[in-house]
Amino acid sequence: MSLKDRETANVGAGLWKGTGMWAWILFRISGLVLALYLFVHMWVISQGRASGAHRLNHIFNMFDKPLFVFLDLMLVAAVLYHALNGVRIILMDLGVGIRSHKTVFWVLMTVAALILAVFVTVAFPHIF
Amino acid sequence: MRPEAMARHQGGMWPWLMQRVTAVLVFVTMAIHLTATHILNIGDLSYNNIAGRLAHGGMAVVDFTLLAAVLFHALNGVRMVWLDYSLAGSGRRVVDVSFWIIGVAAFFYGAWALWPWVTG
């Protein structure tokens, strides 16, 4: 097998397995969800100027319902995953920790989980 | 260069660099944004609550930086996904220009929405 063939053959094998593959798929899904949410969020906040303070406060009252607080925490989780996995990607770009990228990933995910725990603790009384 | 390493650069060198620069900006400003709204003011979000926060010049700078950086980051991210599933070449320039128009329009829409709070 020539060198070129081996490189080409290795592309799929290297990318589509294990931790790296799932990290990439979740990164992409969370990114698309957050991009979509960005525009929803901008529309909601713009109601303050477009429809007035009363209308905006009415929408905020709906967000206080347990279901929306829970969905909000899911968004925080998506932000934390995307942000902390993004840190890993920038570290890899800088050439830091490439040989231990799986360890770096799980350390960063632990940090993400701890920060999420803070948000959940604060939000908890507002769900129940 | 290995094929997968080259593929990362197919979006162009400047968008690639800007995606990292905006990532850092979003990381910092969104941390402040979420701490202010979801930790310090949880349960108290209202029109006046936002007004009180944006009256401080520092928070206005944070939110406008976040608005510009996150719009670039989100739209370039969607553009990168689109590039992965399309054959680069025909129509790419049209798509790039379209993303810029959407981004600039969205920035001015967001700035328009925040302005009454900033100016008080």
Give the domain ranges of chain B: 3-119
CATH number at residue A27: 1.20.1300.10
Say if A25 falls within a structural domain: yes
CA pair distance B33, B69, nearest whole angstrom: 13
pLDDT, position A1 = 44
Tens of pLDDT, residue by residue over B9-63, are: 567 889 999 999 999 999 999 999 999 999 998 888 899 999 999 999 999 999 9
ipTM of the complex: 0.89
C-alpha distances (whole Å) from A39 to each of A3, A7, B34, B59, B92 are 47, 41, 17, 21, 23
CB of A98 less than 8 A from some CB of B: no
Tens of pLDDT, residue by residue over A54-68, are: 999 999 999 988 999
CB of B2 less than 8 A from some CB of A: yes
CATH architecture for segment(s) B3-119? Up-down Bundle (1.20)
CB B23 within 8 A of CB A86: yes
pLDDT, position A8 = 55
- The reply to whether residue A72 touches residue B4, judged by beta carbons under 8 angstroms, is no
* Cα radius of gyration (chain B): 18
